Structure 1
Amino acid sequence: MRLLSWGRGVWGLAGLLVVSAAAHAQANWPDRPVRVIVPFPASGATDLVARTVTQRVAADLGQQLVVDNKPGAGGTLGTAEAAKAAPDGYTLLLTTSSTHAISPHLMPKLAYDPRKDFVPVAHVADAPSVLLVTNSLPAKTVGELIAYAKAHPGKLNYATSGNGTIVHLNTAAFSAQAGVDMTHIPYKGTALAIPDLIAGQTHVLFDSLPTGMPHAKAGRLRALAVTSEKRSTLAPELPTLAESGLPGYSSVTWFGVYLPAGAPPALVEKVHKAFAKAVQAPEVAESLAKLGVEPAAPRTPAQFGAMVQADSNRWATVIRQHKISVD
């Protein structure tokens, strides 16, 4: 009986030591370099956002944050790898709406569950899109574009960066809400679509602000509206789609930070505060603006998670209604 009691005491002490060590590690986070998985290629938008923000986080924390690009399968390969990491704060995932709000509805056999395998930590930034039309169209406003499309059903076509991309989803959502019928012309990236739009071979494109607006400012294309809920600070002269006759229309590509499931709440809060502080730094906002990205409005981890779930629900509906699939 004494031996049993002694054994229980040893195991109990061991458990306390493990808990104490975990608590100590959390309290001292980070005491070694932190790996930040970016599931997209180097020099892409997500990579540049990650490097801009993590540089400031590293400076504030006095510890190195190492961006580790793990591209493939639309971001899902690197995301799956991050899901398997230890939830100790030394592997983070900085990703976009693609991996957590869109891909789960296009790729039913993902190697991760965006809700069960991750803990939302910090909403970092948003990238709105701009609605562009070819100059050969007479439409100078969203209302005029909708009226023209309704008067010429099936005559307009819209370019996208491929099936199932955010460009495709934005246009599908626009067409459904506006009640117009346009033909989808997928390209391998919007950069390849722009020349045909300028030439009038295609008519409509939802593009990112950095790549689309220079053509509009040069007069080669016409910009009608932005997709964000509020007017973009990057193009304040443009109305939102919601202002332009499509109430409630709102779509941005968001960038956010996740920890693997099982991360303790105290650690989540600590990582959240580090990124939230960095995003509010003026030089970070200035650098993000050059990328066509705006710092995210302050949100708690729970609020960020709720936002992502609402985004996911919305895209699930669009994908289902339009029978959208990937190539």
Structure 2
Amino acid sequence: MQRRTLMGAAGLASMLTASGRAWARAFPSRSLRLIVPFTPGGSADMVARSVATPLAALLGQSVAVDNRTGAGGAIGTHEVARAAPDGYTLGLSAVSTLATNPAFIPNTPYHPVNDFTPIINLVVIPLVLAVHPSFPARDFDSFLREVRRHPGRYSYATPGTGTLLHLLGELIELESRIFMVHIPYRGTAPALVDVKAGRVPIIFDALPGVMPHIQPGGRLIPLAVASPQRLAQLPQVPTFAEVGLPIANRGGFFGLIGPRGLPGEVVQRIHSDTVRVLADPALRQRLEDAGAPVVGSTPEQFAEQIRFEFDFYTRLVQRTGIRPD
């Protein structure tokens, strides 16, 4: 009797596995939703829409971009975590939503490592340290000397407390033994307005947002970038690794995630089609020109990157002692 029960259970498990595989092979049979937890028109939205249209063509189903904003990206990201793990709800993730926010805000309503299925890191987002022309330095070494001579005199702007750009500033202060005053804004746009006007002399910003203002003829002067290598758009600007701060040479990213428990066959289908999308030379050039070089990692590489970034920023928040306002 026990043997027949075991055989029946094994047969049922085999049938369920086969059924699941058949369902995954039929994926997708309807349209997909790509939740972007940031406002329309920004760099995250641009990356999502650049990928969604050609991805839909390969999948044979539409991919609707759905901007669900609020709480620094936590609202939209939480919606991804709560979605059914069937592949029809995906999310655009960022270092802020999967690392800095959960590290900085204890009650973030999801766990960045345990509550999602990483699919692919789409692009890296270089970060930039730039100054107003009135600041008495034109390179990073001179910048450090000036700030060290006058601790607390200079302030720097970021899109807000606890953001990736704020934590980059805190990290550079710690590692360089300097002290600046942090001025948080409600987003990049108002921060840029004040820095371009000279009301705040220093800014940490993501490349897509600051690019028009740091190119020749722009109002700001770039001193260093957080990027794996020098940028084609700014070949004269060194990376933080080149100026002696390799620990600060960490940019942002935008990647695709799904809810926890996404079937492996579905992950593979979305990943492989997205890799094909990112291989298009015209798309790669368009993203790079916008300040978002293509990565195209494996799911395993992306999962490891998320774990590393979350652990890194958790330790940094503990070191600095900064807390939400």
TM-score by length of 1: 0.91
Tell me: CA distance 1:261–1:193, structure 2 relative to 1, closer, same or farther (3 Å).
closer
Structure 1 residue 266: Cα displacement: 2.8
User: Which residue in 2 is equivalent to 1:274?
Assistant: 273
User: Which residue in 2 is equivalent to 1:286?
Assistant: 285
Identical pairs, percent: 37
User: Which residue in 1 is equivalent to 2:152?
Assistant: 154
Counterpart mapping for 1:109-258 below 5 A = 109-216=107-214, 217-258=216-257
Matched letter for residue 183 of structure 1: V
Tell me: CA distance 1:74–1:219, structure 2 relative to 1, closer, same or farther (3 Å).
closer
Q: Find the aligned partners of 2:121 and 2:133 in 1 and give their Cα distance.
A: 37
Q: Find the aligned partners of 1:219 and 1:56 in 2 and give their Cα distance.
A: 33
User: Which residue in 2 is equivalent to 1:42?
Assistant: 40
Q: Is the 8 A contact 1:36 1:92 kept in 2?
A: yes
Q: Find the aligned partners of 1:211 and 1:37 in 2 and give their Cα distance.
A: 21
TM-score by length of 2: 0.91
- Report Cα offsets for 1:212-271 as digits up to 9, x if no partner: 232232252211121112112332332111112323421212011112111232322222
Structure 1 residue 315: Cα displacement: 1.4
Q: Find the aligned partners of 1:220 and 1:43 in 2 and give their Cα distance.
A: 22
Matched letter for residue 22 of structure 1: G
Unmatched 5+ stretches in structure 2: none
Question: Equivalent of 1:64, from 62, 65, 74?
Answer: 62
How many pairs align? 324
Q: Is the 8 A contact 1:93 1:258 kept in 2?
A: yes
User: Which residue in 2 is equivalent to 1:310?
Assistant: 308
Q: Is the 8 A contact 1:124 1:256 kept in 2?
A: yes
Structure 1 residue 115: Cα displacement: 1.4
Name whichever of 121-130 and 24-33 sits farther off. 24-33
Unmatched 5+ stretches in structure 1: none
Question: Equivalent of 1:78, from 76, 79, 99?
Answer: 76
Q: Find the aligned partners of 1:292 and 1:247 in 2 and give their Cα distance.
A: 21
Q: Is the 8 A contact 1:57 1:274 kept in 2?
A: yes
Q: Is the 8 A contact 1:146 1:180 kept in 2?
A: yes
Q: Is the 8 A contact 2:122 2:297 kept in 1?
A: no
- Report Cα offsets for 1:35-78 as digits up to 9, x if no partner: 22222222222122111012121122222112222222111112
The CA RMSD measured in Å over matched residues stands at: 2.3
Matched letter for residue 231 of structure 1: R
User: Which residue in 1 is equivalent to 2:319?
Assistant: 321
Q: Find the aligned partners of 1:195 and 1:80 in 2 and give their Cα distance.
A: 31
Q: Find the aligned partners of 2:181 and 2:304 in 1 and give their Cα distance.
A: 34
Which aligned runs of 4 or more in structure 1 are off by greater than 3 angstroms? 11-18
